[in-house]
Amino acid sequence: MKLKQLITEARNPASTHIDTMSTFNMVKIINAEDQKVAQAVAKQNESIALAIDQAAEKFAVGGRLIYIGAGTSGRLGVLDATELVPTYGIEPERAVGLIAGGKEALFTAVEGAEDSMILGINDLQKIKLTQDDIVIGIAASGRTPYVVGGLKYARKSHALTIAIACVPKSVIGQNADIAIEAVVGPEVITGSTRMKAGTAQKMILNTISTGIMIKQGKVYQNVMIDVQPTNEKLIDRASRIISETAAISLKEAQTYLRLADNNVAVAIVMAKTGKNKMEAAQLLTKYNCNVSAVLKNN
């Protein structure tokens, strides 16, 4: 399908005269169109859940989350990968963001980079892709050659492949194990896929990566227990998490955090079970770092 035929490139009749509208009406139209995004993403819930389940299994055995995209899509992938490290305490190498044109493309357009399937393959080869990895290809148009090439190579390498597009029957979807296609419709500004399409992609990426982290035991109840207390703000947050989930005072929580060498999960298990640091750590290892499972069985 030619670019001009894609729904992401169509003109939106609701915003045809946005250039002559009052600022208030301009904002109203953009907001009204944005409300369609969540509805489009919701139609993909089944595929998103499937992606989480299969990716969580790969991640649990040491696989990496690898995002590959160009332009806005690539930047969103890099953002999701980068934020997982401080949020869930994973090693930086476990979440990798690849963007057509490399780091320079995060800030400026690198002409022609997204049009090369070979570059997508090369970038995955450079990081030594394995069958345990998860490759998430992101392209609003669903046809970016850089992403298509990367997904084809990843599939041949037996990695899990997930495609995120904003058009139906996308090319990247046809080259992935799981296709997630949130059709958000024409943009307010024709072809500006950093708007609705970008929002949809970020929502989907947030859901997938959060789901994977939950499956790894990085969340207890609805709090982040692998937060890294590396500064005063995060130490305070960690202490409050322990206090609230273990139903103890903030002062007691701070003591447990120190005894647990700043490991929030260990501190919670210590506070809830009366175990010492070593015993709590052993229980977490036994139950795959799942605090709920530890507390249920001890």
Summary mean pLDDT of the chain: 94
Whether 227 and 209 share a structural domain: no
pTM surpassing 0.85? yes
Whether 56 and 176 share a structural domain: yes
Residue 252 annotated among the catalytic residues of the structure: no
Whether 151 and 204 share a structural domain: yes
pLDDT surpassing 80 at residue 156? yes
pLDDT of residue 86: 84
Of the pLDDT bands very low, low, confident and very high (cuts 50, 70, 90), residue 227 is confident
Whether 228 and 283 share a structural domain: yes
Residue 111 annotated among the catalytic residues of the structure: no
pLDDT surpassing 70 at residue 220? yes
Structure confidence by residue, pLDDT tens digits, 189-210: 999 999 999 999 999 999 999 9
Whether 211 and 224 share a structural domain: no
Whether 122 and 251 share a structural domain: no
pLDDT surpassing 60 at residue 1? no
Q: Which of 169, 189, 215 is the last residue of a domain?
A: 215
Of the pLDDT bands very low, low, confident and very high (cuts 50, 70, 90), residue 31 is very high
Distance between CA 153 and CA 118 in Å, rounded?
A: 10
Percent of the chain with pLDDT over 70: 98
Q: Which of 215, 249, 283 is the last residue of a domain?
A: 215
Whether 157 and 189 share a structural domain: yes
Question: Which CATH number goes with the domain that contains 252?
Answer: 1.10.8.1080
pLDDT surpassing 90 at residue 84? yes
Find out whether 78 and 66 touch, Cβ atoms under 8 Å: no
How does strand 219-220 pair with strand 178-181?
unpaired
pLDDT surpassing 70 at residue 2? no
How does strand 160-165 pair with strand 178-181?
parallel
pLDDT of residue 228: 76
Whether 142 and 13 share a structural domain: yes
Residue-number span of the structural domain to which 20 is assigned: 3-215
Angle between helices 196-215 and 71-88 (to 10 degrees): 30
Whether 269 and 173 share a structural domain: no
Find out whether 236 and 243 touch, Cβ atoms under 8 Å: no
**Tally of structural domains, the chain:** 2
Structure confidence by residue, pLDDT tens digits, 256-266: 999 999 999 99
Tokens matching residue 202 = 């970020």
The candidate with the shortest Cα–Cα distance to 266, out of 288, 283, 281, 251, is: 281
- Catalytic pick among 9, 57, 83, 252: 83
Whether 144 and 101 share a structural domain: yes
Q: CA torsion, points 118, 169, 65, 210, in degrees to nearest 10?
A: 160
pLDDT of residue 112: 77
249: helix, coil or strand?
A: coil
- Catalytic pick among 9, 91, 104, 114: 114
Of the pLDDT bands very low, low, confident and very high (cuts 50, 70, 90), residue 226 is confident
Whether 84 and 227 share a structural domain: no
Of the pLDDT bands very low, low, confident and very high (cuts 50, 70, 90), residue 137 is very high
Q: Which of 183, 215, 247 is the last residue of a domain?
A: 215
Question: Which CATH number goes with the domain that contains 174?
Answer: 3.40.50.10490
Whether 274 and 200 share a structural domain: no
